[in-house]
Amino acid sequence: MSWTWCIGMFLPVILLRDLGWPGFWVFAIPNCLGAAAMGWVLRDPAQSRRLVDRHESACIWFSLITILFHTFFAAWIIRRFAGPASGAILAVAFTFFWILLQWPGVGKFLAAVLVLTVSLIALAIGLYRGDIPYVTQPLALSPTTLPPSDALWLAPVCLFGFLLCPYLDLTFHAARQATAPAEGRVAFTLGFCVLFPLMILFTAAYSGPVVLFLARHLYPQMVFIVALHMIAHSAFTSAAHARQLAGRVRSISLRQFAIFALALVVAVILGIAPPRFPLNHNLAGGEIVYRAFLGFYGLIFPAYVWLRITPGRRSIYRVAFAVAAAIPMFCLGFIQQWTLWLLPGVAIPLLAKLNFTPRNASFPQKKANG
């Protein structure tokens, strides 16, 4: 359930709007398979613990950015659905899940089951009333509509991001460390090949009204359904990551707390009053900020996993250079919607894995005097 968050609850809406079903499947298949694979790649809890211990800072950054992403998403999207009171509702829901997650033994399980139950109830209400499925399709005259073939250029980014990002997710590691080797494989397989696909198909089912930002007077029932679903998952995911951070961060200085609090405030401001960007007049300011956040999960975090965690580890400087070189291409692909640029954008961190120093290189020896 902690993987059904502001990407799974909204990115399929954008992809269906821009590319139709090819965009949805390019997102969904790598997402499900990549998340499920973690239960098989990490063979036992000990391997998960070793990975987190060696790359604790990167995992902490993953959770911090995820919480900031949810904060922006709540101020931008959920607030438009649920109204100004959504902030207070989310705060109450976050506190509830935070307390429930403290319950030793069964707290995490009960919290996840509760979130799943809320989503299933929302889905059942929508199906019973006939409000869903209402799937958006690319509009012929929309400036955001892309050729379906552009899904091919998006596919490498989805593969790169969704196959590698789970290894920095502390909530995934908590699940892997709480299950025996065989149980973990079953849990991840069922979770991401059965339950999670149901959640993102729910996203596709409500994508039509969401593209119109759920005009409250036109879709009053859908506003309730989608807001209930999004609030539950956003509060739970944020609380789950915050809970994992609390167990990892031993002490927080006043300066660190102030910086993160300021970042939260900035995320809220960006959501409530998204800036206007001169680069792309086809996309709203809030969507551009949303796509910028996706860069962490499509480029920065997977580049770290690829270059620092998988065998043949490279230095953190190579990660930084590869990311810096690829960012302009990701901007062209995601922000300007020139999706072909995503291919070289992914190729740069992939090729950065190569060792460019010849193994048998011979260097001239300095002649000895005399």
Tell me the DSSP string of 40-72. HHS-SHHHHHHHHHHTHHHHHHHHHHHHHHHHH
> CA 280, CA 285: separation in Å to the nearest integer?
9
* Domain presence at residue 134: yes
Domain with 118 in it: 11-351
Q: Is residue 5 part of a domain?
A: no
44 within some domain: yes
Is 356 within the bounds of a domain?
Answer: no
Q: What is the pLDDT of residue 362?
A: 44
pLDDT of residue 238: 96
Q: Taking each helix axis from N to C terminus, what angle separates 196-205 and 21-41, rounded to the nearest 10 degrees?
A: 160
Q: Indicate whether 231 belongs to any domain.
A: yes
Residue 370 maps to a domain: no
Spatial distance between the Cα atoms of 17 and 211, rounded to a whole number of angstroms:
7
Q: How far apart are CA 58 and CA 307, in angstroms?
A: 13
The total number of structural domains that make up the chain: 1
Chunked in runs of 10, what are the mean pLDDT values of the chain (370 residues)?
92 93 96 96 96 96 97 93 87 96 90 95 92 85 83 96 97 94 95 96 91 60 86 96 89 86 95 81 87 96 97 94 97 92 96 75 46
Token code pair at residue 76: 């931008």
In a domain, 240, yes or no: yes
Cβ-proximal residues to 287 (8 Å cutoff; 6+ apart), any chain: 14
Q: CA distances (Å), 48 to each of 45, 54, 177, in order?
A: 5, 10, 6
Helix (H, G, I), strand (E, B) or coil at 291: helix
Running DSSP on this structure, what letter comes out for residue 307?
I
105 falls within a domain: yes
Gap between the Cα atoms of 270 and 266, Å rounded: 6
